[in-house]
Amino acid sequence: MITMKSRRLTFGSGILLLINLIVLVLLAIGFMAAYIPPDKNWIFAFAGLVFPYAVIANVVFVFIWMFLWRKLFLISLLALIICWNRLTSYIQWDKHTAIEDVKNEKAKIISYNVQIFDLYNWKRDNISDKGHRILEILKEEAPDIICLQEFHAGKKNKVDIIDSIKTMTGLKYQQIEYVKKEGESMPYGIATFSRWPIISNEIVDFDNNPINFCIYSDLIIYGDTIRLFNVHLESIRLSREDYLYVSELPKKADTQEIFSENSKKIIRKFKRAFVNRAPQARKIAELIDASPYPVVICGDFNDTPSSYTYHQLSNNLQDAYKESGHGIGMTYAGSLPSFRIDYILHDESIKSYNYKTIKENNSDHFPICTDIILP
C-alpha cells in the first residue's frame, strides 16, 4: 500500500512538473515579447498577451511546490523575481502618498478613449446618457490637460462637443486633428485641450492607416515647455460578433469550434494589429528621443505592458501607474485585450502622483488621470 501510494504521488508530481514547465516556457516567451518586433516575428506578441496569466499560474505552482518539492518551489519563485519589474506594470500593492505641499506647480492630466461619445445611441439632436456622462467626468475631474482618442466633434449646428468641453472645463487652448478619408475630413479623430498655450503642434501619420495617428503639442506651463504626445495606435477592430464568439467559446466542448474560421479570423485581426503597431511605436519613439523638451505621452496604445509597443514607448520614460497607481491595472472595459492598454508616461525629470483609473462604463475604455510636477 505504501509503495502504490508513493507511485501515484510520483506520477501526479510528474504531471504537475510537466504543466509547470509549460507555464515557465510561456512566461519566458511572454517576457521576451517586449523585445521582439512583431513585424519580424509576430508569434511572440501573442505570448505577451498570455504573460499575466502565466504569472498567475506560476504563483499557484509556487504554493504547490512549497508542500510537495522545495527545490521546484525555488525555481518557480526565481522566475517570478526575474519578472518582478514587468509584473509591477500590471499590479501595484502600495498606495503611494500624495504630495501635499504642491500648489501652483502641478498639472492634472486625463487621457480617455471616448469611443466617439457613444454617438450611435444619440437620439435626434440629443447626446446619449453615456456621452453626457463622459463630459461630466471631464468637468468633475477638473483637469488642466485633456487627451481624447476617438474624439467626435458632434453634429453640425446641433451638438458642439468642442464648445461643451471648453465651457465645462475652462480649457481654452486646443489641438484637434481629424481622420481624413479620400481627402475629406471626418468629424472624428484626436483632441487635446489645455489650460496653457500651445505654441506649436504637429500630426504624426502612420503608413496606410487614416484612422489611427498621433499628435503632439508644445505647451508652456509655468514658464517651462513640455511636449505632449496624444496617441492612438493601431486598433484590433474586433466586432461585436467577435466578442460574443470569444465569450461563448469556453462553453463549447467541441474542439472543432475552437479552431473554426471565426477563431482564425480573430487571430488574423490580432496579428495584423501587432504587425502594424510595431513601426508606429518605433516612429513615435524616435520623435520622443528627438524632442528638445521634456515629454509626456498619453493615449490608447491598444497593447499590454508585456508588448513590444509598450517597451518601445516607455523606454527611458516613467509610467504614471507604476509611480503612484494602486491595485490591478485595468483600462479596457472589454474582454480582449485585458489589463492596461491606456497609459500616461512621462520624462524622468517630471514627477507624477495621484494616478487613478475611473471605473465607469461609458466607453469601451476607462479614463485615466494623474498629477504631474514639472522639473
Class of domain 106-373: alpha beta
Q: What span, in angstroms and rounded, lies between the C-alpha atoms of 14 and 219?
A: 60
CB 233 within 8 A of CB 199: no
pTM of the model: 0.89
CB 343 within 8 A of CB 360: no
Query: pLDDT per position in the chain (375 positions), as tens?
Result: 333 344 344 666 778 888 888 989 999 999 999 999 999 999 999 989 989 999 999 888 888 888 877 677 788 888 888 888 888 999 888 655 555 555 557 899 999 999 999 999 998 778 999 999 999 999 999 999 999 999 999 887 678 999 999 999 999 999 999 998 877 888 899 999 999 999 999 999 998 888 999 999 999 998 899 999 999 999 987 766 655 655 555 555 555 555 567 778 888 888 999 999 999 999 999 999 999 999 999 999 999 999 999 999 999 999 999 999 999 999 998 776 778 999 999 999 999 999 999 999 999 999 999 999 987
The domain locations on the chain are 2-87, 106-373
Element containing residue 185 per DSSP (H, E): strand 184-194
Q: Which one, of 316, 327, 314, 317, lies nearest residue 355 by Cα?
A: 327
Q: Which one, of 189, 196, 221, lies nearest residue 347 by Cα?
A: 221
Phi-psi label, residue 237: left if phi above 0, alpha if psi -120 to 50, beta otherwise: left
pLDDT value of position 5 = 40
Q: Which residue has the cell 491595485?
A: 327
pLDDT value of position 375 = 75
Omega before 375 cis (within 30°)? no
Helix axes 43-68, 261-290, angle to 10 degrees: 100
Rg of the chain over all Cα atoms, to the nearest angstrom: 23
* SS3 category, 19: helix
Quick one: cell of 257?
Answer: 469550434
Q: Kindly state the DSSP code that residue 98 receives in the 8-state scheme.
A: P
Q: What is the dihedral of CA 32, 369, 148, 331, to 10 degrees?
A: 50
Q: What span, in angstroms and rounded, lies between the C-alpha atoms of 318 and 15?
A: 42
